[in-house]
Structure 1
């Protein structure tokens, strides 16, 4: 849509209104306009003029999705580049630490101590028997079950957390969600029906893998109230739940940031 200047718009509308009234009076016809019509025309002209001034020659309803998509892609590229640079810097630090440890006994001792604790901290890959749990949204239904809402048909944060807590309680030695290592500092968050973990977003189905005694892990799942609620939803709302026992399962090492942003001192330590 193109807009004329403000003064031209005003002159056009007022002129048309007056010409219409004079024409009807000269022909002796009964006017069809009420006295309020010219006022409405004037207000409409003011509205169009204000809109044209605000637009400044651009479309007020311009679709900004392409710009947002470009911005997201640009930020994602910058994030990947920053992560690559951080990985290179960590490698350089490790190499320098190895050199220093070769001539400094205390540094060598501390590096050996760190290396011994890396598996328990989740910084090395671990393999062994375990179990895989898969949680999925319900398929699209033509009609919702009686008494159900759309929230009942998707996997929620509480569902994922219930499975994770049950597996830890069952003696899991290592765990991953969507092939990302889970640590004691890991937080599971859901945004809509997507999962946010360590800054990355994942869509269902959500796969949780845990290394440990499969029988103990399955028993812990059976005893979890939150897991039982989700299993009941499988029958009532057709959400997806599957357990798979694996004789040999590999959980990757954690390769993200280990920086703590918040911590508290336990009461027992005060």
Structure 2
């Protein structure tokens, strides 16, 4: 029989928290990438791009697993494989890094942006379904192929838009606006993917899901990525060039006015 599946075991708390984490990761990634474009030099450029990739990857992954706290299967327990859960995090960060570094070093030409967007979008989708593969429940999980394809398309479009924004938007408020849209796009991808899920169980369990143990496991898994986002936020907040969108100062940026030097014979 088909069990009733819900994404809102705790009401609107999990989707709202998940959306906010996606927005946080997006805004940090946008500011870090903006800092690197045309401003960073050598290792500094590499560092800002890496921080942006980690921020976006952790933000997307954290959004996914906060949302998964609300996942429940009526009459069946839910648990997670820790190894696959962590693997999904590394996959997310690695693939997002490919996209960020492509646009960071090669610019936003249509070919580069399209390639980076497809790679990143497929990586985000892979993270989502790898995370779903970590779910253990007393039933067989099935997916609606059409809805899965739709979720992948949304992931690619969202990733392409995110990378375009990273290299095209520099002001703080425009970045915040773009992050809000990106957070909505990533969350839409997640819940579209979850709409494809159905669970078939041979016999309903009387105990249902152990919400306390599941919540404890996911909170432990979330601790590291959330700490990474907090650290990235601290770095961004204490760098005025990231917050204000200012350029590095060079002597040639402000040439000395003619006649400002004292006369010497």
Indicate the structure with greater strand content: 1
TM-score of the aligned structures, taking structure 2 as reference length: 0.26
Indicate the structure with greater helix content: 2
Asked which structure has the greater CA Rg, the reply is 1
Instruction: Report 1 or 2 for greater relative contact order, CA contacts < 8 Å, sequence distance ≥ 6.
Output: 2
